[in-house]
Structure 1
Amino acid sequence: MISRNVALCAATAALLAACSTLDRYTGQVRRNNTATGALMGAVGGAALGYATNTNKSEEGRTNALIGAGIGALAGAGIGRYMDRQEAELQHHLAGSGVGVIRQGENIVLQMPGDVTFALDSAAIQPRFDPVLDDVAAVLNRYPATYVDIVGHASADGSDAHNQVLSERRALAVGDYLLSHKVLRARLFVAGRGESEPIASNATQQGRAQNRRVEIILRPHTTT
């Protein structure tokens, strides 16, 4: 664990060697790497954090949405709301390569890394912009959902590299959604590195599946 943390520190230091810009998540100055997640990530930790400037917890995010005038869902209305949102996402994302998966009341959008990003890059490919435009448009029509953006990597490369890359990719997607008016208080951004595979890393196909960004949509409730 110590050696991994040292490696992560080294990777983070390397990412910081660039000019500064304003971070839209924190309002603070950060280095100008493409969607650099290292500035928000704790060394060795998966969570980058809540995107709102003032609330740093799940309860804070709930309160922020209520404060923004977004009412909480309740009872049978939860299922109906998520059903409509899922149907719109299925319609707009058909043929895009993005998987739309229903898990109870939650909706998971699986964005394959080879579709969203170039190899070993956190820069969103221009051809994927229209897909994220559609995602942002649907999210803005359904504001009563939390938006968790989680980056994942395959086992290719070192743990440290994969952790930082997963963070940077998640932040790139989060930055894009913010630039398309998705409410900041809804967002949580995390990088899981190679710790949560959905397929075997022993095959090329499995590793390709593991390289992904997931957007998890959860209903905004008070419980």
Structure 2
Amino acid sequence: MAAILALPGLAPEGHASSYTVTAGGAAIGDAPSRFAEIGLPASHWEEKPQPSAAASSGGASSFGAKGMTSEARLKTEANLSALGARREGAAILVELPSDVLFDFDKSVIRAEARPALVRLAEVLAAMPKARMAITGHTDAMGADAYNQALSERRAVSVRAWLVGRGIAAGRLSAAGKGETMPVAPNANPDGRDDPAGRQRNRRVAFLIAPDG
């Protein structure tokens, strides 16, 4: 569950950005053992600048951000857009690939993943009433119990990292769902492995409740 994170830096002033997963470079981490046989290269993120709706219109926040200055709201919108956030009812959902956050079979945050987590910490700092549920997910490779434990360790690791950045522990919960909540098939209809689907399933979800 490894990948290379390419974060070229903050988007231009007044703009947000989103990330698209592309293929390129040599495989690392678990890629040789799990992907090499089909030649799937490692994934990395490339920033795709796009105007923030809030920044361009000056209107209400598209993520429901409130109780902050215009400058803070625009920065929060930019961070959420850069993280690929979307609204889930009254909540905000961010999903980051585990391949980006962690090396294969590990729960220690990769140095290359820290810029994305810094953005997340900045969002929480700007929304002091918000609470966030952190949930780890895996693909279906390996034993169920092992995947469950790994997903839990990873969620706890991210929580500890954010606490270390000054976010109150009481605002954050951490849980793991293992392989029980896939967002894509782990295998093709003919039973063959689906590496792209498994890659989507390896993720950490962050559900932010803005009003606590």
| TM-score bracket for the superposition, by shorter chain length | 0.5 to 0.7
C-alpha displacement of 1:153: 0.6
Alignment partner, residue 89 of structure 2: 104
Larger relative contact order (CA 8 Å, sep ≥ 6): 1
Matched, 1:215 2:206: yes
Counterpart of 2:111 in structure 1: which amino acid? P
CA distance in 2, matches of 1:160, 1:136: 30
Among 191, 199, 204, the alignment partner of 2:184 is 199
Cα deviation digits, residues 94-126 of structure 1 (max 9, x gap):
66xx43121121101101011111112111110
Choose which of 119, 143, 148 in structure 2 pairs with 1:163.
148
Look up the equivalent residue of 2:114 and give its one-letter code. D
Question: How big is the alpha-carbon RMSD for the aligned residues of Structure 1 and Structure 2?
Answer: 2.5
Cα-to-partner distance string for 1:37-68 (whole Å, 9 max, x where unaligned)? xxxxxxxxxxxxxxxxxxxxxxxxxxxxxxxx
TM-score between the two structures when normalised by the length of structure 1: 0.58
Letter of the 1:92 counterpart: N
The residue aligned with 2:171 is: 186
After superposition, the Cα gap between the structure-2 partners of 1:93 and 1:146, relative to the gap in structure 1 and judged at 3 Å, is closer
SS in 2 for 1:156: coil
Normalising to structure 2: TM-score of the pair?
0.61
Post-superposition offset of 1:184: 1.4
Cα 1:82–1:158 change in 2 (3 A) is farther
**Contact 2:134–2:205 (8 Å) recurs in 1:** yes
Q: Kindly state the Cα deviation for residue 146 of structure 1 after the two structures are TM-superposed.
A: 1.1
- 2:104 aligned residue: 119
Identity %: 37
Greater share of residues in helix: 1
Q: Distance in 1 between matches of 2:196 and 2:118?
A: 28
In the alignment, the residues of structure 1 paired with residue 199 and residue 75 of structure 2 have an alpha-carbon distance, to the nearest angstrom, of 27
- 1:120-139 to 2 correspondence within 5 Å? 120-139=105-124
Measure, in 1, the Cα distance between the counterparts of 2:182 and 2:164: 29
Structure 1 runs (4+) greater than 6 angstroms displaced: 82-86
Whether the aligned pair in 2 keeps the contact of 1:146 and 1:218 (CA below 8 Å) is: yes
8 A Cα contact 2:80 2:123, kept in partner: no
Q: Judge conservation of contact 1:82–1:106 (CA < 8 Å) in 2.
A: no
How far 1:90 sits from its partner (Å)?
A: 4.9
Q: Which runs of 5+ in 1 are unaligned?
A: 1-77
Q: How many residues align?
A: 142
